[in-house]
Structure 1
Amino acid sequence: MTSTLTEMPEISPTISGSLAAALRRSAGIERRIGEDPHSFRILTGDRPTGDLHLGHYFGSLRNRVRLQDAGAATFILVADYQALTDRDVTERLGERVDGLVLDQLAIGIDPARSVIFAHSAVPELNQLLLPFLSLVTVPELGRNPTVKDEIAHSRQASVSGLMFTYPAHQAADILFCKGNLVPVGQDQLPHLEVTRLIARRFNERYPGPGGVAVFPEPDALLSNAPLLLGTDGGKMSKSRGNAIALRATADETARLIRGARTDPIRHISYDPEARPAVSSLVLLAALCLDRDPVTVAHEIGGGGAAALKRVVTEAVNERFAAIRARRTELAADPGYAREVLRDGCARARAIAVDTLEEVGDAMGTRY
């Protein structure tokens, strides 16, 4: 019944099942969230490598608030240890951690209903990494497409061995709290597949008392958020200097949008394939206005790039005015973010201790 690493089936180079099947499962999960949100335990989070930006908000952050408000148990990780995967310094790490917490609170995360915690404050979570790494092979870790992308865009000549533990570390993040649902974009499906595989292999190798599985195999809740490009027309990213931060002032927002890439065609249209940079700006305005991007583009029409950027600037600044004001208010009390984080870390650690005891019982390592 117990298998060895050499006997383990390898992860398929492609995501198991089709994307269409994953989307169908997500649709079914959404129906279940509406019927019984309390049956879900959700893990999501961010690395403190820079300011959260508008792409984060429309792609993930607003969905966290929705799930929290629906009644799902929500755990939000500040992945400070994972910030080291492609960096060798922790410059301004504490400041960035505080910033992430403030961003979460400003958008509507309620620390009484959600748990905001940091990697480094929950040693039991990180202790799961060792048995989890024993369940996957080096080739399985190395060919993970997200790891490959992170390595390709690293600012270093080479990356540390910690980078290759990234998928297993994410498995520990999700499974320490028995997370059974993870909101992800399509590019994160390979990571979740590793988590599901680790959970399955652990349960097979180390069945709990009475053969009861220790870990759930978490599902993906695929985001239907359309992709927002950065101001340079590339992928919006904290580390690439092409994003509009949630905390940006109205003037900073206007300056960044004025410098955004467009194209030589004066008439504004929404055509993401043929006109990606222009269409991304149109989409940003439409998301902020809760309108259809085709209609927004049609109304701008022959106004050209200047009119487009004016509409986008006004829409962004109006949409995020209250969030920015709330963040400024919260930041005025420099101890509050740390208080929220300390409380969340204590709650997360209590759960991690219980999980690690279950793991020890299953593995026979509680002496």
Structure 2
Amino acid sequence: MELPASEPVGGAQADLSFADAEARSERLEAGLRRDPAAHRVLTGDRPTGPLHLGHYFGTLQNRVRLQNLGVQLFVLVADYQTITDRDSPQSMPDDVDALVADYLAVGIDPERATIFAHSQVAALNQLFLPFLSLVSVAELNRNPTVKDETAAAGQTAMSGLMFTYPVHQAADILFCKGTAVPVGKDQLPHLEVARLIARRFNRRYSPERPYFPEPDALLSDAPVLLGTDGQKMSKSRSNSIALGATADETARLLSRAKTDSDRHITYDPVNRPDVSNLVLLAALCQDRKPEAVAEEIGDGGSAALKRLVTEAVNEYFRDIRARRAELAGDRGHLRQILLAGNERAREIADATLADVKRLMHTEYGDIH
């Protein structure tokens, strides 16, 4: 069966479909509120270093919100995805434990969410093979996000795993029949591949009763925080403030954050991005309007601004950091949480793979 040429992903098509994605996201948010238990959300992180304040306000807060709504939440420790652009380091076990500690500390509840690791769910990864047959090389080659991520990692050549990363991500989403994936606009091309794979699988193998849902993007308007160097806060740039940072470490990191020469503090993200970023961080921690924070500081200058931000961050994250420190000291507990989540994910993935084999007529286990 030929792959249709009329369903491109990435590039101009992604730009043209952004309005549609926004509309679907709005409908999805309404559906989540109306009947949360009917939805499964897949999200997660690569264990490549400690999560930071940008992760918290960008994604972690929203995951806890969805969990508390009653949505079925699946949180992926994407250890296999670390090798798309780097070697698997000896620190991986510690990095995985740290990631689980971060999740638990911010309020992700393993009784209401499934926390699991990529490498521990064989049936999920086996879906990757039939899914690869549903997309063309040309379609994968048009994905702008993969190219951007390769460039950001400083790679001169793209690995096969990186090239097919959107298909692997489709397996992550579809193994649990995920209906919603929290993403930003830059990740839409990846999600379009998952939607395309679901649609083509249903058309080819289950036309009368679609098996996989077409997952929708839950677009986020969460703020993008800059790091201490004025670039986007990132684990790889060493410009972030980790969730587990101490109060003293936070003060030291913020003391060297970029500002500007104007002593009067205003909130003007376009013309004063560095100052406005610090104002926004304080506002998020204090649940205030950034304009009000800026007005309070007034002519206090960058010293007063950094002092206020440091106090706001340390106060807001005080309890989270205390919980995280306690969790980090009990590696056995962290592993038990992950083992339980792995087992739950395996049950679901095994059932999905069994259905896929039946629909593809590749059941050979029963000789009768």
Say yes or no: TM over 0.5: yes
Distance, in Å, in 2 between the alignment partners of 1:7 and 1:366 is: 31
Aligned mate of 2:223, from 219, 223, 226: 226
Distance, in Å, in 2 between the alignment partners of 1:36 and 1:352 is: 24
SS of corresponding position for 1:228: coil
Question: 1:35 corresponds to which residue?
Answer: 34
Paired residue type of 1:251: D
Distance, in Å, in 2 between the alignment partners of 1:356 and 1:303 is: 61
Q: Map 1:237-276 onto structure 2 (within 5 A).
A: 237-276=234-273
1:123 lines up with 2:122 in the alignment: yes
Paired residue type of 1:123: A
SS of corresponding position for 2:217: strand
Question: 2:189 corresponds to which residue?
Answer: 190
SS of corresponding position for 1:25: helix
Paired residue type of 2:319: A
Distance, in Å, in 1 between the alignment partners of 2:15 and 2:196 is: 11
Deviations 1:184-229 (A, max 9, x none): 1121111111110111111111116xx2112100111111112111
1:4 lines up with 2:18 in the alignment: no
How far residue 365 of structure 1 moved from its aligned partner, in angstroms, is 1.1
Distance, in Å, in 2 between the alignment partners of 1:170 and 1:366 is: 25
Q: Structure 1 pair 139/232, CA: closer, same or farther in 2 (3 Å)?
A: farther
Question: 1:94 corresponds to which residue?
Answer: 93
SS of corresponding position for 1:5: coil
1:362 lines up with 2:359 in the alignment: yes
* Percent sequence identity over aligned pairs: 64
Residue pair 1:54, 1:245 contacting (<8 A) in 2 also: yes
1:316 lines up with 2:313 in the alignment: yes
How far residue 18 of structure 1 moved from its aligned partner, in angstroms, is 4.5
Distance, in Å, in 2 between the alignment partners of 1:247 and 1:139 is: 43
Residue pair 1:16, 1:193 contacting (<8 A) in 2 also: no
SS of corresponding position for 2:317: helix
Question: 2:72 corresponds to which residue?
Answer: 73
Distance, in Å, in 1 between the alignment partners of 2:4 and 2:161 is: 23
Residue pair 2:266, 2:295 contacting (<8 A) in 1 also: yes
Paired residue type of 1:47: R
Paired residue type of 1:85: T
Residue pair 1:87, 1:159 contacting (<8 A) in 2 also: no
SS of corresponding position for 1:183: strand
Paired residue type of 2:9: I
1:143 lines up with 2:142 in the alignment: yes
How far residue 88 of structure 1 moved from its aligned partner, in angstroms, is 2.2
Instruction: Name which of structure 1's ranges 226-235 and 7-16 shifts more when overlaid on structure 2.
Output: 7-16
TM score, norm. by length of structure 1: 0.95
Residue pair 2:10, 2:143 contacting (<8 A) in 1 also: no
How far residue 23 of structure 1 moved from its aligned partner, in angstroms, is 2.9
Q: Structure 1 pair 143/18, CA: closer, same or farther in 2 (3 Å)?
A: closer
Deviations 1:35-92 (A, max 9, x none): 2111111100000111111111111101111111111100000000000000023231
SS of corresponding position for 2:79: coil
Q: Structure 1 pair 67/268, CA: closer, same or farther in 2 (3 Å)?
A: same
Distance, in Å, in 1 between the alignment partners of 2:10 and 2:44 is: 26
Paired residue type of 2:248: D
SS of corresponding position for 1:4: coil
Paired residue type of 1:222: L
Residue pair 1:84, 1:90 contacting (<8 A) in 2 also: no
How far residue 364 of structure 1 moved from its aligned partner, in angstroms, is 1.0
Distance, in Å, in 2 between the alignment partners of 1:285 and 1:24 is: 32
How far residue 134 of structure 1 moved from its aligned partner, in angstroms, is 1.4
Paired residue type of 1:241: S
TM score, norm. by length of structure 2: 0.95
Residue pair 2:175, 2:349 contacting (<8 A) in 1 also: yes
Distance, in Å, in 1 between the alignment partners of 2:15 and 2:175 is: 24
Question: 1:59 corresponds to which residue?
Answer: 58
How far residue 12 of structure 1 moved from its aligned partner, in angstroms, is 5.1
Gapped regions of structure 2 (runs ≥ 5): none
Aligned mate of 2:297, from 292, 296, 300: 300
Count residues with an aligned counterpart: 363
Instruction: Name which of structure 1's ranges 167-176 and 300-309 shifts more when overlaid on structure 2.
Output: 300-309
Q: Structure 1 pair 191/313, CA: closer, same or farther in 2 (3 Å)?
A: same
Q: Structure 1 pair 141/30, CA: closer, same or farther in 2 (3 Å)?
A: same
